[in-house]
Amino acid sequence: MQQTSNLPIGVFDSGMGGLTVLSALHSSLPQEHFIYLGDTARLPYGTKTRETVIKYAEQAASALVARGIKALVVACNTASGIALPALQKRFAPLPVYGVVEPGAIAAVHAASIAAIGTSVVVLATESTISSGAYQKAITKLAPQIRIFGRACPLWVTLAEMGNRDANLTRDILAHDIRGFLQKGPCVFLLGCTHFPVFSQALAEISSTVTVVDSAATTAAVVAEKLKTLNLLTNSLLKDNLLVDDLLSDAKQGQTLYLATDGAARFKQVGGQFLNCALDEVELVDL
């Protein structure tokens, strides 16, 4: 039987956005295997009701759990903000990690090293903004920080269509953030995993703002937690000091990509999110 620590880590999002988190996970945990699921048939999650987001998140998670995973990363702010407790309860004792708390850590850190009085502007989906998840997570870490929220419903579609560099995209980004550029120093927190593809464009629209997202902090949290749980690949074997297993440390992990619709588009556009070409994408039904 396969060691639990050698099973893949499951990662899901409503679409390709979670690939920005997967990219950070690849960097932090290069030896791990991953199964990534993009629920492209039902995207966007960010305009759906709470009940629907929980149902979709549970179905996506179930599909990954059925393939055998050692941990689950909810690489979607909308699902993390709304469905994380339900997923943790339903799939216990499987470790389930979200992106909202790590995103809040990144924003608070950026604000703390910026000018005094720097506020945080959360740019996210409608559901994430109305859930108040980021407001709660940031206030818990730094109650003094002023927080603004802005729903950016068009951004997910623009990102998913691969329109990262279009002039119309820049106009929409500029329109949505313009009001905050007058409010004094601020950190823009990309509270949707689709949005990091716009980091460059946002920096060009305003060279004075700081833009952060949850990808790197999520990967750091996941790496730390899996280490504590002794769930890193080969970690159990390494403790037994088996030579073969030590040699296998050098091996690069594999990633399996699943999508519920549009596998060809996923493969073609996914590279913008992952920062490298994608392997084959398998079509699945939830």
List the catalytic residues.
76, 192
Smallest distance from the beta carbon of 46 to ligand DGL, in angstroms? 3
- Which member of 64, 100, 192, 197 binds ligand DGL (CB under 6 A)? 192
- Contact range with ligand DGL by CB under 6 A, out of 30-38, 75-83, 144-152, 178-186: 75-83
Size of residue set near ligand DGL by CB under 6 A = 17
Binding status of residue 44 toward ligand DGL by CB under 6 A: yes
Q: State yes or no: residue 218 binds ligand DGL (CB under 6 A).
A: no
Residues 102-141 that bind ligand DGL (CB under 6 A): 125, 128
The answer to whether 123 touches 196, Cβ cutoff 8 Å, is: no
- The binder of ligand DGL chosen from 40, 77, 131, 210 (CB under 6 A): 77
Nearest to 76 by CA among 182, 218, 243, 263: 218
Q: Determine if 70 is a binding residue for ligand DGL (CB under 6 A).
A: no
Per-residue contact flags (x/-) with ligand DGL for residues 1 to 30, judged by CB under 6 A:
------------xxx-x-------------
Judged by CB under 6 A, the stretch of 39-47, 176-184, 253-261, 272-280 that binds ligand DGL is 39-47
- Tell me which stretch binds ligand DGL (CB under 6 A): 76-84, 138-146, 229-237, 259-267: 76-84
Nearest to 164 by CA among 37, 270, 41, 280: 270
**Pick 77 or 210: Cβ nearer ligand DGL:** 77
| Residue 34 region by backbone torsions, left for phi larger than 0, else alpha for psi between -120 and 50, else beta | beta
| Shortest distance (Å) from residue 256 CB to ligand DGL | 20
One-letter identity of residue 81: G
Give the residue, chosen from 10, 38, 46, 95, that forms a contact with ligand DGL under the rule CB under 6 A: 46
Residues 222-251 that bind ligand DGL (CB under 6 A): none
> CB-wise, 69 or 76, nearer to ligand DGL?
76
| Contact residues: ligand DGL, CB under 6 A | 13-15, 17, 43-46, 76-78, 125, 128, 156, 192-194
